Amino acid sequence: MPVVVQKYGGTSVADPERITRVADRIRETREKGNDVVVVVSAMGHTTDELLELAAQVSDNPPRRELDMLLSTGERISMALLAMALEARGVPAVSYTGSQAGVLTNSMHGEARITKITGERVRQSLEEGKVVIVAGFQGVDPVTKEITTLGRGGSDATAVALAASLGADHVEIYTDVDGVYTADPRIVPVAQKLDELGFDEMLEMAASGAGVLMTRSVEIGRRYDLPIHVRSSFHDGEGTWVRDSEVMEQAIVSGIAHDRSEVRFTVSGVPNRPGIAARLFGALADARIVVDTIVQNIAHDGTADISFTVPKAAVAEAERITKEVGDELGATVELDHGIGKVSIIGAGMKSQPGVAALMFRTLAGLGIDIEMISTSTIRITCVIRADRIDEAVAALHEAFGLQDGPNRQEGES
Ligand code: ADP
Ligand code: ASP
Ligand code: MG
């Protein structure tokens, strides 16, 4: 029997009524002659609430214990969904990540899936059951500790599980109809994309489009597994993330934004070889992901180095950067008021004038561009966080995205 892997996000299982609706949909999928494996997120804002609880008892909760706590969120929804299915006469069983054989490395809070053994999943499918797997969690096979995969990690569980079960695609059910040209909460005229390449989706996700976790897209690309992002509230087609067969790629497919980072500026760094390596080596050793690095050389032979760091890692990054800064006689400043706005499109690499139009649009709003970074298919500007919404809306309009992805000649 073909196996269908479906993932339901937090909003889709937020209350008992929604869980029963999800159960109905699963029953329909099964009645069409499919084996069904379902990955669930924690109900609604459960994960945030658990984090908040932890913060109330500790300023610095041990990462192991945080994972013990956070992994309970998905256990609640998986068990309730299995009950709702049984109540409909559909045989079902729920498994934690560990029971399902989701093996990870040892990095609590941001573990990576190394392998999915999936023995019990396969066995239960053979017994004719619907299998529900808790997303966002796994187990380190060496230490036997429970790990979590990082925010949005249920997407990664679903894509990895679908790849390991040989499914021909994975269905991500969420609270929007698919991937849009910009976050529909900010740009009401944003358009749903029918299709998007893995590379573009990867850049969108990494630039803040939280509709898919970045690592889930990486897994999909590696296994060439199409990801269908669709609404859990109706049956309409969503967005297919897959290697595109379209010959002419869109110049700009979407706008993404991100308010989750903080900028560090290290000033008065001696300008000699090895300094950047020392600073970023220390941050990397602490497994801190650094983005948008800019270095300016001053006339007096010193340099300023700026970079951005996710808010979640700020405390540790500050400690390390100040330590290295003291060593070098440099000063360290933090800026909590930055945001990033990015334009993404696989066709922009062969199209002049895209960056110019982006900069001109921001200039037209009187928005100061503080840092710029690019890849071949993305341009990102760091601006003030409180100007993000208007910047996203103006860029969406400037690139004509209200009419769908921009395939016309770019303006220069
Ligand atoms: P889930 O709980 O189902 O995993 P998420 O909240 O993680 O859902 O992701 C869905 C949300 O992603 C949407 O509600 C939307 O606000 C946001 N989002 C951001 N950028 C985009 C985009 N380009 N297209 C669609 N949704 C987006
Ligand atoms: N519950 C986790 C989170 O809120 C994982 C997920 O929803 O994908 O990040
Ligand atoms: Mg999500």
Q: Nearest ligand to the C-alpha of residue 258?
A: 1
- Protein residues with CB under 6 Å of any ligand 2 atom: 9-10, 41-42, 47, 73, 135-136, 151-155
Which residues on neighbouring strands pair with residue 384, listed in sequence order?
Answer: 338
What's the pLDDT score for residue 299?
79
Closest ligand relative to 136 C-alpha: 2
The pLDDT of residue 382:
97
The string of pLDDT tens digits covering residues 148-162 is 999 999 999 999 999
**109 with 63: CB under 8 angstroms?**
yes
As a whole number, mean pLDDT of residues 24-46 equals 97
pLDDT at residue 356 tops 50: yes
| Residue 380 bridge partners (DSSP) | 342, 373
Specify the pLDDT at position 407.
65
pLDDT tens digits, 65-95: 999 999 999 999 999 999 999 999 999 999 9
Binding pocket residue ranges, ligand 1, CB within 6 Å: 9-12, 41, 152, 174-176, 179-180, 182-185, 209-211, 254
> What residue's CA is closest to ligand 2, atom 4?
47
pLDDT per residue as tens digits for the range 119-137: 999 999 999 999 999 999 9
pLDDT > 70 in the chain, percent: 98
Distance from residue 65's CA to the centre of ligand 2 (Å): 17
pLDDT at 312: 87
Of ligand 2's listed atoms, the one at least distance from the Cα of 151 is 9
Alpha carbon distance 222, 38 (integer Å): 21
Helix then strand then coil, % of the chain, to nearest 5: 40, 25, 35
Reduced to 3 states (helix: H, G, I; strand: E, B; else coil), residue 185 is: coil
pLDDT tens track for 290-333: 988 998 887 788 999 999 999 989 999 999 999 999 999 999 99
pLDDT value for 297: 84
Query: What's the token pair of residue 326?
Result: 């003291």
Number of residues that make up the chain: 412
Check: CB of residue 55 under 8 Å from CB of residue 92. Answer: no
**CATH class of the structural domain 3-175:** alpha beta
- The band of 404, judged by pLDDT with boundaries at 50, 70 and 90, is confident
Residue pair 197/247 in contact by the 8 Å Cβ criterion: no
Per-residue pLDDT at 411 exceeds 90: no
- Distance, in Å, from the CA atom of 210 to the CA atom of 46, rounded to the nearest integer, reads 17
Label residue 132 exposed, middle or buried (CB < 10 Å: 0-12, 13-18, 19+).
buried
Determine the average pLDDT of the residues in 368-390.
96
Ligand nearest to the CA of 14: 1
State how far the Cα of 171 lies from the Cα of 321, in Å rounded to an integer: 42
Spell out a b/e string for 273-293, using b for 16 or more CB atoms within 10 Å of the CB, else e. eebeeebbebbeeeebebbbe
User: pLDDT value at position 249?
Assistant: 81
What pLDDT band is residue 247 in, cutting at 50, 70 and 90?
low
Q: If you average pLDDT over residues 373-385, what whole number do you get?
A: 96
**CA atoms of 156 and 7, how far apart (whole Å):** 10
Calculate mean pLDDT across residues 273-290: 93
Q: In one letter, which amino acid is 368? A: D
Q: What is the pLDDT of residue 409?
A: 47
Strands 35-40 and 130-134: parallel
Residue 315 alpha carbon to ligand 2 centre in Å = 22
Q: What 3-state class would DSSP assign to 5?
A: strand
Contact 167, 35 (CB under 8 A): no
pLDDT > 90 fraction of the chain, expressed in percent and rounded: 88
The residue with greater pLDDT, 59 or 387, is 387
Indicate the pLDDT class of residue 250, thresholds 50, 70 and 90.
confident
Is pLDDT of 262 > 80? yes
Give whole-number Cα distances, 286 to 24, 145, 265, in Å: 45, 20, 19
Identify the residue whose C-alpha is closest to ligand 2 atom 8. Answer: 152
The mean pLDDT value of the chain amounts to: 95
Mean pLDDT of 385-389: 98
End-to-end CA distance of the chain: 53
Q: pLDDT band for position 412 (50/70/90)?
A: very low
Q: What is the pLDDT of residue 163?
A: 98
Tell me the whole-structure pTM to 2 decimals.
0.94
Mean pLDDT over residues 228-237, rounded?
95
244 confidence band (pLDDT: 50, 70, 90): confident
What pLDDT is recorded for position 410?
A: 42
pLDDT at residue number 157 = 98
pLDDT at 398 over 70: yes
User: Domain ranges in the chain?
Assistant: 3-175
